Structure 1
Amino acid sequence: MIIKKYQAGTETEAIMLAKEDLGKDAIVMNIKTIKPKGLFKIFRKTQVEVTAAVDENQEIEKKSESKTTEQFNSQISEKLHPDQKKEDEEAKALNEKLNSLAKLLEEQIEQQKKDERPSDKKEVVQQKEKAVSGQKKDEESDKILESDTEKKEQKASKDAIRNKSIDLIMEQLTGNEVSYTYAKQIVDEITHTGNVRTLDDMLSGVYQKIILKLGQVQPIAMEKEDKKPKIILFIGPTGVGKTTTIAKLSSKLILEQKKKLAILTADTYRISAVEQIKTYASILSIPVEVLYEREEVEEVLPKYKDYDYILVDTAGRSHKNKDRMDDLKEFMEGFSKYSTSVYLVLSATTKYKDLKKIVSLYEDISDCNLIFTKLDETDAIGNILNIKLDTGMALSYVSYGQNVPDDIEVMNPQVIAKQVLGGGDGYGSGR
């Protein structure tokens, strides 16, 4: 069987081509429409393709002219479509023209690139750089915004922690009767440094600040300043424990420091006061002199010119009794020729308001160092810090019981600071 395909403008024309080529007995096996393809399809028409077949043994009528199948098809096509060849030639020519035009455009573009001025290139580069820079700035702005937001959140969290820490420390200090003014002053001095980040940082800073504010303690000097005996006077209101404090210090000076000392007492107003001090002196084997008048000072002191220390117990004076305070001042003037130190004895159990009045009156009499007694009878010792900051007087000793000579020692600012902050055991608690 012989199978061939034929194309024409219409189905009828394609079948006619097949019949003329294969004969009238040719069988049409398939017909399909072929759409033009390629760049110039708009200039071509749709074709119809016919697939036809004929038996090989069947005689095919031939035309008198001997032609090839292609020539025959060409002739038939020319007869049926005399304009088709012309259209193909026109399309080919148009294609050549378009190709030439495209080539010309490419050459012109290339030449334009070569002729482009450096300034133009620079401007283009600058524009590109500006665009990239703008994009980077936008990205950086976004990052900065995110960073700022994160920083604000972190700062808010830190501020909340810091404020809570401040509240806790302020509550602890004022709960131990540190005045609000001094408590706030201490906390502000710590927080304003900018180095406080946690509660531990703040506690550590406040602890160190309290120690600094308590200052250097000044106990009884262990060496004499000159050949004369060192005279130490103990003053203070009634009931604070002056006599017991003298007994404790006398014991330490004799037993621990091996010092030679005598005791003078002017506390003749209180019943059994003289007997009490004589009892302590007898145990320690030290002399005691009772003074009733100021003039007796000049008579007694020469007896003990070779002694290391002379401890003087004065009568308790109410800060509300001006006459008694004047008597004390006059009595103390009798020791003006000698090397003296004055210790103001105060009870840690006294209210801050009363302590301020007491101290203000005794300040007018003499410069003093401070001794606080009865620390075993109170849990709040903030008044020690308050009075220190009010007066600037040096701290010296603390006492916390009736045992002689054990329940007294040189004040330790670290212990006071810890107790004020609620950490550690205080004096008199078996530390």
Structure 2
Amino acid sequence: MIIKKYVGKTESEATDEAKKELGGNIVVMNVRPMKKTGLLSFFQSQKIEVTVALEEETEKPQRVYTPKKSLDSASTPLTTGGQKDVVPTVTPKPSSRPKDIIDESTAIEEKLDNLSSLLEKNIKFSEKDEGVSIDHKAEKAPEREANPPSSEISEDTMSFIKLLYNTLIENEVDEIYVNQLTDEVEKISKPGMPFDFALANVYQKMVLKFGKSEPIEENKNGLKAEIFIGPTGVGKTTTIAKLASELSVTQKKKVALLTVDTYRIAAAEQLRTYASILEIPFRVIYSVDEMKQAAEDFKDYDYIMVDTAGHSLHNEELKQDVESFIRVLEDVVECENFLVLSATTKYRDLIEISDAYSEMVAYKLIFTKMDETGAKGNLYNIRMHTGAPIAYITNGQNVPDDIAIFDAQIIVKNLLGGKS
């Protein structure tokens, strides 16, 4: 992982400088104004410091993490009832950590909002709970024997690894990806490594794996089609209404709503109602010829937003119908596809759904119903499984308020046991 700081007159200028050196895959980790110094500071222009990170991809065999018997003492509950029950935080001497590590982790630790303290106080695991979480999905995990921990890994670090493992499993992060993160902690561990440094490293890794959000952006060359796909009942129609409101009312863009979902009359009428409220055009599309005509009729608009029919993964006829409408649009306008998924759907079903739609088109992700689940692990799982960026999340039925651009830092903080 590469972490560097860049300074510019604006955040954009500093970020552009980082992209020139490190490429476009950087993740902005922290932005702060620099303090003016010196006698002439009053006359100095404000400078902005941007901290960015770039993941250096490495492959490492995955394994199931199994604590050793020699560290059984670390499996006692992490409570505040006694000093021996709390994972101790080692405060390093100034010389015990390289200067670059201190500099790089400072901004991250600020963003964690004292997450290490939250973890120590709130995450408890008993011998019973530990047995459940360690064996969780064991029948699906690769059967590889765990490597003995390095002699340099302290009991404090192993306690943190167990805490991290159980916390992520509890939040329904797939065990394969949990093992990757615990392996990383073991790889970077050093004698006396403090709790907060290990936590900051995991936080960095997960934010980088999520990557940047990719919300809707304007096509400078004219009309753009935003196409929404996904199974029935995930909230596609409501999500479209929320985004249409943002684009037409807030951003003052010319937007038209289309639906090819002729199977559910209620969905079409719902979208028609939203279009009426927003005072934007609405049209039901029954054939590919009508889709071509709609693209021509709205060529002077900024966006056409297309609602498609949700369907069973085994309904090949309906799947082909949806795909034919997408292909027609791709031939005449710039298109962007969003796979809308519910955060409450079982992970196995999400895998099947995302794989089925990936056979049709490339897509970005939108997760709905975030307010209906406390475990956010599926966002990480599907991001890792598909490689598709997450554009938006929704957390309620209110139009247009209950939608937000995906923020990896908030979700990672939640997955690590903090409050989002």
TM-score grouping bracket, smaller chain normalisation: 0.5 to 0.7
Which residue is 2:352 aligned to?
357
Higher RCO structure (Cα 8 Å, ≥6 apart): 2
Measure, in 1, the Cα distance between the counterparts of 2:153 and 2:228: 51
Measure, in 2, the Cα distance between the counterparts of 1:157 and 1:213: 27
> By how many angstroms is 1:302 displaced?
1.2
TM-aligned CA distance change 1:190 to 1:180, over 3 Å: same
Which residue is 1:257 aligned to?
251
Q: 1:315 aligns with which of 290, 309, 318?
A: 309
Residue deviations 1:163-201, cap 9 Å, x none? 111011010001111001101102212331235823322
Q: 1:342 aligns with which of 337, 346, 350?
A: 337
Which residue is 2:403 aligned to?
408
Which residue is 2:193 aligned to?
197
Judge conservation of contact 1:191–1:202 (CA < 8 Å) in 2. Answer: no
Which residue is 1:389 aligned to?
384
> By how many angstroms is 1:158 displaced?
5.7
| Residue 237 (str. 1) matches residue 231 (str. 2) | yes
| Residue 214 (str. 1) matches residue 205 (str. 2) | no
Measure, in 2, the Cα distance between the counterparts of 1:351 and 1:301: 37
Q: 2:367 aligns with which of 346, 366, 372?
A: 372
> By how many angstroms is 1:225 displaced?
3.5
Which residue is 1:424 aligned to?
419
Which residue is 2:300 aligned to?
306
Measure, in 2, the Cα distance between the counterparts of 1:233 and 1:369: 10
TM-aligned CA distance change 1:157 to 1:231, over 3 Å: closer
Residue deviations 1:339-384, cap 9 Å, x none? 0000000000001101000000100100000000000000011011
What CA RMSD, in Å, does the superposition of the two structures yield over aligned residues?
1.6
Amino acid at match of 2:377: G
Amino acid at match of 1:381: K
**Partner secondary structure for residue 188 of structure 2:** coil
**Partner secondary structure for residue 401 of structure 1:** coil
Which residue is 1:297 aligned to?
291
**Partner secondary structure for residue 348 of structure 2:** helix
Q: 1:163 aligns with which of 158, 165, 179?
A: 158
* Deviating more after overlay: 253-262 vs 406-415: 253-262
Measure, in 1, the Cα distance between the counterparts of 2:358 and 2:151: 48
Amino acid at match of 1:290: V
Amino acid at match of 1:327: D
TM-aligned CA distance change 1:158 to 1:362, over 3 Å: closer
Which residue is 1:398 aligned to?
393
Measure, in 1, the Cα distance between the counterparts of 2:363 and 2:151: 48
- Decide which structure has greater helix share: 1
Measure, in 1, the Cα distance between the counterparts of 2:162 and 2:275: 51
Which residue is 1:109 aligned to?
none
Measure, in 1, the Cα distance between the counterparts of 2:377 and 2:391: 16
Judge conservation of contact 2:295–2:329 (CA < 8 Å) in 1. Answer: no
- When normalised by structure 1's length, the TM-score is 0.60
Which residue is 1:178 aligned to?
173
Structure 2 gaps, min length 5: 1-149
> By how many angstroms is 1:156 displaced?
7.1
| Residue 270 (str. 1) matches residue 254 (str. 2) | no
Judge conservation of contact 2:226–2:305 (CA < 8 Å) in 1. Answer: yes
Judge conservation of contact 2:337–2:364 (CA < 8 Å) in 1. Answer: yes
Measure, in 1, the Cα distance between the counterparts of 2:158 and 2:408: 27
Which residue is 2:137 aligned to?
none
Measure, in 2, the Cα distance between the counterparts of 1:216 and 1:157: 35
Q: Percent identity?
A: 46
Judge conservation of contact 1:211–1:417 (CA < 8 Å) in 2. Answer: yes
Measure, in 1, the Cα distance between the counterparts of 2:329 and 2:364: 17
Amino acid at match of 1:214: F
TM-aligned CA distance change 1:391 to 1:158, over 3 Å: closer
Judge conservation of contact 2:157–2:189 (CA < 8 Å) in 1. Answer: no
Measure, in 1, the Cα distance between the counterparts of 2:329 and 2:186: 48
> By how many angstroms is 1:303 displaced?
1.2
- When normalised by structure 2's length, the TM-score is 0.62
Measure, in 2, the Cα distance between the counterparts of 1:396 and 1:187: 27
Number of residue pairs matched?
269
